[in-house]
Structure 1
Amino acid sequence: MAVETINQTSPVFDTSGKALKSGIDYYIKPAGTDKGGRLTLINREPKLSPLYVGQGNISGLPFHFKPFFTGETVVRESRDQMIISSVSTHCRRFSSWSIVTANAEDQRKLIVMREPARGKVPDSIYFRITRSQPEVDGNSYILRWCPTDVCPNCTFADCGNIGSLVASRGKRFLALNGSELPVVFERARG
C-alpha cells in the first residue's frame, strides 16, 4: 500500500456524529427513508454466484473500510477506500466491492463482491465517499468510483457516483451512474 503523501481531508461521520474508523463494521443505508433498505449482497440471476451489492431487507449486512494509504485509521472524504464484507456464503468468502461490467448489451457497471487479485493493486476495488450536496439527512454522503489515489496519473473515463438501479423483479443493485443514492453510515453493534 501507499504511504500517505497528501493533506488530510475531513473525516466521514456516522449517524451518531463519530468519525468512521477503518476495520469497524457499519451498515450503509439510504439517507432518505423512501429509497429502499440497507445495503446487502443479492443474486442478479437465479444462480448462486456472483453476489452483487444492492439494497435488500431492513437488516442488511455490515461493511467495513480499508483506506488505500497505509496507516490511516480514520475514513476520510474524497480518499480511496476498499469497502469490505467478511460474510461467508455457500459460494465462497467474498471480500471487497469491485466494479464490473454486468453484461455486454447495455455495458452497465455494477458492484460485485470478489476477492482482490494478488499482485498489482486493481483500481476497480477502490471507492470514495463525498459529502452529499445538499445533505439529505444529517451526515449524508455519496459513494463514488474514481480511484485517483491508487493511480494519480491515470485518466478514468467512467468516473461517477454509485447509485441505485432497479432491475427486473424489483431488485435494487448499486451501479455506476445509477439514480443518485445519498447514504449514511450506522455503526453495527456487537
Structure 2
Amino acid sequence: MKTAVLFILAFILFALSANSAPSPVLDAFGKNLQAGVEYYVNPADTYNGGLIRAAVGNFTCPAGVSQVGKDEYVGDPLTFTPVNPKKGVIRLSTDVNIKFSGSTICHESNVWKFKYDKNIKQYAVMLGGVEGNPGPETLDNWFKIEKTLFGYKFVFCPSVCSTCKVMCKDLGIVSGFNGMQRLAVSKDPLSVNFYKNV
C-alpha cells in the first residue's frame, strides 16, 4: 500500500513539474511565438503604428526604439531569441533578446538594450545590445514579455544574473526629441500584439 501511495505521489510531482514551464507567448492568430522568426509588433489599440528603429537625438545615431503614429504602417520586423537558444518557443516571463531584422542604420547591432537616455532623461530602449551570452556583462540586453488584458507588454526585469541587482520596469511610449514617440520606462505599459512576417 505504501509503495502504491509513493508511486502516485511521485507521478503527481512529475506531472506538475512537466507542466511548470511558463505559457507560450501567442501571436495575433493564436500561434506560438517562434524564436528566430520575424514578427511585426503593433499596439493592441488600432490608433498608432508599429515599432521602428529611429534616431533619438539631433543626428542619425545613436538609434533607439520608437513608435510610428500612423496606423497603416506596421513598423520594422523583429526576431526574438530566448535565453536558451535551443528552445524554439518564446514563453512568458522568460529572458529574451529582441532584435530588428535587416541592416543597421548605425555602426551598432540591432539588438535592444536598456540604457539611460539623456535626451529624455530616463531609461529607454536603445540599439547596440549583445545577442546571447547571458550574464552580468549582458544584463541590459534581456527583456521579458508579459500578458496584458488585450495582448502583451515588454518588461525590463532580467534574471540572467542571480547575484545582480536589477530594476524591474514596464515599457511604454513616452514623448522624446522632436515629439518622437519612444519606447521607455513608463507607468502606462504599451500593450502589443505580434504579427508574423509572411
Cα offset for 1:45?
Answer: 1.5
The separation in 1 between residues aligned to 2:28 and 2:116, in whole angstroms, is 32
Of the structure 1 ranges 11-20 and 115-124, higher mean CA displacement relative to structure 2 is found in 115-124
C-alpha offsets along residues 60-90 of structure 1, whole Å, 9 cap, x if unaligned?
A: 1000100002411100000000001232134
User: Aligned AA for 2:30?
Assistant: G
The separation in 1 between residues aligned to 2:39 and 2:119, in whole angstroms, is 33
> Between Structure 1 and Structure 2, how many residues are aligned?
175
Q: Where does residue 109 of structure 1 map in the other structure?
A: 123
Of the structure 1 ranges 36-45 and 116-125, higher mean CA displacement relative to structure 2 is found in 116-125
User: Aligned AA for 1:183?
Assistant: V
Counterparts of residues 1-190 of structure 1 (less than 5 Å): 7-34=20-47, 36-56=48-68, 57=70, 58-92=73-107, 94-103=109-118, 106=121, 108-116=122-130, 121-132=137-148, 135-136=149-150, 140-148=151-159, 150-156=160-166, 158-177=167-186, 179-189=188-198
Runs of 4+ with >6 A deviation:
none
**TM score, norm. by length of structure 2:** 0.80
Show structure 1 runs of 5+ residues with no match: 1-5
**TM score, norm. by length of structure 1:** 0.83
Which structure is higher in RCO with an 8 Å CA cutoff and minimum separation 6? Answer: 1
The separation in 1 between residues aligned to 2:114 and 2:193, in whole angstroms, is 21
Indicate the percent of aligned positions where both proteins have the same amino acid: 27
Which is helix-richer, 1 or 2?
2
Residue 172 to residue 63, structure 1, CA distance change in 2 (3 Å): same
C-alpha offsets along residues 161-182 of structure 1, whole Å, 9 cap, x if unaligned?
A: 1111112422100002353211
Of the structure 1 ranges 15-24 and 37-46, higher mean CA displacement relative to structure 2 is found in 37-46
Q: Tell whether the 8 Å contact from 1:164 to 1:178 is kept in structure 2 after alignment.
A: no
Q: Which of the pair has more CA radius of gyration?
A: 2
Q: Tell whether the 8 Å contact from 1:26 to 1:185 is kept in structure 2 after alignment.
A: yes
The separation in 1 between residues aligned to 2:75 and 2:30, in whole angstroms, is 21
